[in-house]
């Protein structure tokens, strides 16, 4: 009787498929963080920011009270990006080129862009944010 139990246990162990648990995938996501500031350094809260990839609208968002807006970019985020900021009847545009040949530091998943984007406010030019 013992040998029947031993054979049954051996058969179960030999016929069992490969053990499979949860799979784990590790990747990274590139996040573009823009800080929209006035010339005097104060944040431009509630400004509309439109992000374009190769000339096509990719996403649109609004800055928070600190002038920050974030966009999750597809894949490694490479390509030619343009952003348009509209606030108070004024518009400012800038471009970023993210190259896949430039190494990203380990643990770094965000691209920070800080700068005075509202230089047109000094010029007192009025334009509508139609882009």
Strands annotated E in the chain? 31-37, 48-53, 56-62, 68-72, 79-87, 90-98, 110-116
pLDDT, tens digit (0-9, with 9 covering 90-100), for 59-96: 999 999 999 999 999 888 888 999 999 988 888 999 98
pLDDT at res. 62:
97
Q: Give the percent of the chain with pLDDT over 70.
A: 56
Tokens 């007192």 belong to which residue? 124
pLDDT at res. 97:
87
- pLDDT category at 107 given cuts 50, 70, 90 is very low
pTM check: above 0.85: no
More confident position, 121 or 28: 28
Does residue 55 surpass a pLDDT of 60?
Answer: yes
30-123: which CATH topology? Immunoglobulin-like (2.60.40)
Q: Count the neighbouring beta carbons within 10 Å of the beta carbon of residue 124.
A: 7
Does residue 126 surpass a pLDDT of 60?
Answer: no
Q: CA angle at residue 106 from 101 to 111, to 5 degrees? A: 65
What are the residue ranges spanned by the domains of the chain? 30-123
């Amino acid at each position: 009787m013992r040998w029947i139990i031993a054979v049954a246990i051996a058969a179960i162990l030999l016929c069992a498929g490969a053990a499979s648990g949860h799979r784990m995938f590790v990747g990274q996501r590139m996040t573009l963080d823009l800080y929209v500031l006035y010339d005097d350094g104060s944040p431009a809260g509630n400004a509309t920011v439109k992000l374009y990839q190769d000339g096509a609208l990719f996403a649109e968002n609004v800055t928070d009270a600190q002038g920050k807006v974030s966009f999750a970019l597809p894949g490694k985020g490479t390509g030619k990006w343009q952003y348009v900021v509209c606030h108070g009847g004024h518009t400012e545009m800038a471009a970023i080129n993210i190259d896949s040949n430039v190494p990203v530091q380990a643990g770094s998943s965000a691209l920070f862009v800080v700068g005075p984007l509202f230089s047109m406010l000094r010029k007192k030019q009025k334009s509508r944010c139609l882009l």
